[in-house]
Amino acid sequence: MSADCIFCKIIKRELDADIVYEDEYAVAFKDINPAAPVHILIVPREHIPTIMDVEKSNEKLIGHLHLVANEVARAFKLGKKGYRLVINCGADAGQIVFHLHLHLLGGRPLLQTIAKGRGV
Ligand code: 5GP
Ligand code: ZN
């Protein structure tokens, strides 16, 4: 946990968020500024700043986050229509919250481009 991390605060229930899924290792909640009809952030409970900080010991956790994404996608009826998973890493990708997270975006056709949350 990191004391001044927004997502750690959401995980600890010190900050409000619309939590849609949680388990021992991960929490998923709605993005406060959605870029698509469905925009969910999937975060590990463990404070890992970026995907570059992931270590061998986190290998299972990274796989787990993807299974959580699939489960959330099914819950939001995106299983058939599809969705996009995005991980922004560092300044050039526009990462603004330095607690690893997957963006799950869907609910409308997304542009056929490699893009981050905004304008996809
Ligand atoms: P990044 O650019 O770091 O990949 O994306 C961070 C995301 O977190 C942004 O899409 C932003 O809207 C979202 N976000 C930032 N602060 C909060 C917050 O306090 N609550 C929620 N639910 N989402 C947040
Ligand atoms: Zn954190």
- State yes or no: pLDDT of 114 exceeds 70: no
Ligand 2 centre and the CA of 9: distance in Å? 7
Q: Distance between alpha carbon 27 and the CA centroid of its chain, in Å?
A: 9
Q: Which of 11, 12, 31, 89 to mutate to test the pocket of ligand 1 (most atoms within 8 A of CB)?
A: 31
- State yes or no: pLDDT of 117 exceeds 70: no
In the sheet with 19-22, reading across from the earlier edge strand, the strands are 19-22, 26-30, 38-44, 102-106, 83-86
48-64, pLDDT tens digit by residue?
A: 999 999 999 999 999 99
pLDDT of residue 113: 61
Quote the CA–CA distance of 116 and 120 in Å, as a whole number.
6
Average pLDDT, the chain: 93
Q: Using the CB atoms, write b or e for 7-27: b if 16+ within 10 Å.
A: bbbbbeeeeebeebeeeeebb
Query: How is the chain split into domains, by residue range?
Result: 6-115
Find out whether the beta carbon of 42 lies less than 6 Å from any atom of ligand 1: no
101 is catalytic: yes
Find out whether the beta carbon of 90 lies less than 6 Å from any atom of ligand 1: no
Number of CB atoms found within 10 A of residue 107's CB: 15
Tokens found for residue 70: 């699939």
CATH superfamily of 6-115: HIT-like (3.30.428.10)
pLDDT of residue 96: 97
pTM more than 0.75: yes
